[in-house]
Amino acid sequence: MKKEIKKITTHVLLQMKQKGEKISMLTAYDYTTAKILDHAGIDVLLVGDSASNVMAGHETTLPITLDQMIYHASSVVRAVNRALIVVDLPFGSYQGNSKEALNSAIRIMKESGAHAVKLEGGKEIKESVERILSAGIPVMGHLGLTPQSIYKFGTYEVRAREKVEAERILSDAELLEKTGCFAIVLEKIPAELADKVAKKILIPVIGIGAGGGVDGQVLVLHDMLGLNNEFNPRFLRRYLNLYDDIKGAVQNYIKDVKSKDFPNAKEQY
């Protein structure tokens, strides 16, 4: 008999926090890799707007469009049986007003079949979060380094080293929890602050460059697989070196084609 798969829901994530079981999350943007990640047992897949960087080659996350996010998200949805799929609302699709935010979130849910959306920001997006939630769409928050605001920050350095910004992150996290978010991502902030936030609020806190005191971890898939060997932040652990492996494989293929070694007698009809 086929074993029943226990799907990850926002409720399951909450239970994981309550039990002290860490949540694993990775980005995914396409069918083939999403399928591998789901079979491996990942809890949450984030169709991140980092697709703008790693898939499309833009310098920032700003250029990616809602249509492009929906394309990536629907490819991921077709691959996945177990993981919870969260999709980033891209820059420009929710900052205008809460009606625009709701329309963008509805398009993502309706056209891709994903399970939740993620928005960057705190107090300033409260109304949009409320309106999206009122339509029954689960919302994940994102505080700390929020790459859609890179031109305001000016750098990708660690955020909230100063007291004022640290206090703002804490109060924004409490506000997002109160508003109804099911989880929050904290990006690139001091581990001590992230730990404090995770202890203060009841919903799961997923960190990237935010230390081990939070309830789960997220990494950009291309970074942890070593597909990009030019990005070396301190928080990144590389589990493979695919840049070198793929380059080596392609060099071998080129060599075999040029030398007429490929295809051999068994590799033809």
Which amino acid belongs to residue 228? N
CB of 51 to ligand KIV, least distance (A): 7
Nearer to ligand KIV, 144 or 190 (CB): 144
Binding site for ligand KIV (CB under 6 A): 27, 46, 48-50, 88, 185, 187, 208, 218, 220
Nearer to ligand KIV, 114 or 220 (CB): 220
CB of 74 to ligand KIV, least distance (A): 17
Residue 44's nearest CA partner among 24, 14, 30, 29 is 24
Is residue 187 annotated as a catalytic residue, yes or no? yes
- Asked if 89 contacts 118 with a C-beta cutoff of 8 angstroms, the reply is yes
Q: Would you call 241 exposed, middle or buried from its count of C-beta atoms within 10 A (0-12, 13-18, 19+)? A: middle
4, 127, 165, 187: the active-site residue? 187
Indicate the residue whose CB is closest to ligand KIV: 48
Nearer to ligand KIV, 70 or 220 (CB): 220
Nearer to ligand KIV, 124 or 261 (CB): 124
Q: What residues are labeled active site?
A: 187
